[in-house]
Amino acid sequence: MKTTNQLLKPVTAKIGENGNIEIGGCDLVELAQKYDTPLYVMDEATIRSICADYKKAFSGYQKVNMMFASKALCTMATSALLAQEGFGFDVVSSGEIYTVYKAGVDMNKVLFNGNNKSFEELTLAIDLGVGRISVDNFFELSLLNEIAKSKNKMVDILLRITPGIECHTHEYIQTGHLDSKFGFDLTQIDEAVELILNEYKNLKLHGLHAHIGSQIFETSIYGDEIEILVKEIARLDEKFSLKLDEVNVGGGLGVKYNDEDVPPSTYEIADKIISRLNSCIEKYGIEPPALFIEPGRSIISTAGVTLYTIGSSKQVPKGKTYFAVDGGMADNARPSMYQAKYSCEIVNKPSQELAKTVTIAGRFCESGDILIKDVLLPELEEGDIVCVYNTGAYNYSMASNYNRVQKSAMVLVNNSQSDIIVNRETLDDLISHDVIPGRLKRD
């Protein structure tokens, strides 16, 4: 059975009666006219669909906690929506903590992750009642205990470990292999546990946490991760009489950015994780732990599209044809960072004959600002609206003000209704934090 992460387009995408592409019952040309471009468009039905996929896929295990990896997309509206679906949140900064807090999220269902959390961030997490802190290193163990002790509080933690597994993704999004900046090496776990048990009396260890990467297509690697985590839990119990009852396997399930991508379904990874977990529970003789899983990209990516307006064009003699849009690497850094490939359609010409191979270029002052290379599209002209699919994850999260360009707006669509959930930045927003020292001011 296909699940939503295996789709190229939002579940509501279709050609409307007027011949334009619609998402969430909203004509994308009309959205572009109403809200301007570039414009991030999020489809509520698609988000709820993948949430349902995950919950059904993992229903075969009794103790499951779904945690959305907020780094993929963190806004108050999307956080509130995912909380409605019963998800908790994996956060990695004070900004993400504060966003989910202001969105009304149950903070006990929030886990704070990251390899260099600051004193201020850890203090905020404790003050706002974050339910779990995944401790990444010895420095953080000491700092966190110091803060907790000063507040006379007990803080619930996991230890993030590096399982030594290398998945076949871009090297920048591998997080589980040995040469990684994240987590305790397996040889360091005993020392960390001894510190928690004997010195850091304000920390309560509940379990182990690992990530193996992102945009993962191979399911067997989850089973390998489970084996390592459960084996460690059993070993720690034997050595320290320590009854850990939580296992966090991270996320990383891939999505379909183009026709060549064939990611596994949520059911495939759920079957792999649950069956291996059950066999390891029996093999190593431990009590069934609570299972935490942290999907991010696979929850939000397919739900999002980005709309652009075609501007200038250039025909290189005996070479490429370029069409430039009004956005680019500042609203989607992934093609230039990861060589990520995307798919697109022309919103106002979805049924027209595909006539020419062109390259969609961004507007920013970098030769590498190319959104999509060599894509077959209808005849293009100034004012056409381009819809780039599967941009819900990491596009807004990584957005910048490069070239002093304002960040784009974001709308949520559902049942023919569109609502702004992130306002477009203004020129005054751009300079709102700039300060001119008095000695530089003109008389």
State the catalytic residues.
365
Q: Long-range contacts: 230-234, Cβ < 8 Å, 24+?
A: 230/277, 230/280, 230/281, 230/283, 230/284, 230/286, 230/289, 231/280, 231/284, 232/161, 232/186, 232/189, 232/208, 233/207, 233/208, 233/284, 233/286, 233/289, 234/284, 234/285, 234/286
Q: Do 386 and 349 form a contact (C-beta atoms < 8 A)?
A: no
Three-state SS for 64? strand
Q: Do 338 and 313 form a contact (C-beta atoms < 8 A)?
A: no
Radius of gyration of the chain (CA): 23
What would the two tokens of residue 414 be?
């559902």
Q: Using CA atoms, how far apart are residues 396 and 374, in angstroms rounded to an integer?
A: 24
Place of tokens 């011949």: 19
394 Cβ contact partners less than 8 Å away, ≥ 6 residues apart: 71, 72, 73, 297, 301, 333, 334
Q: Do 160 and 183 form a contact (C-beta atoms < 8 A)?
A: yes
Expressed in angstroms, the distance from the first to the final Cα of the chain is 71
Three-state SS for 293? strand
User: What are the b/e assignments for 247-278, b being 16+ CB within 10 Å?
Assistant: bbbbbbbbbbbeeebebbbbbbbbbbbbebbe
Single out the residue of 80, 79, 86, 89 nearest to residue 131, CA to CA.
89
Q: Using CA atoms, how far apart are residues 85 and 202, in angstroms rounded to an integer?
A: 33
What would the two tokens of residue 253 be?
């399930």
163 Cβ contact partners less than 8 Å away, ≥ 6 residues apart: 176, 186, 210, 212, 224, 225, 228, 229
The DSSP secondary structure of 190-204, one letter per residue, reads: HHHHHHHHHT-TTEE
User: What are the b/e assignments for 211-239, b being 16+ CB within 10 Å?
Assistant: bbbbbbbbbebbbbbbbbbbebbbebbee
Asked if the bond preceding 38 is cis, omega within 30° of 0, the reply is: yes
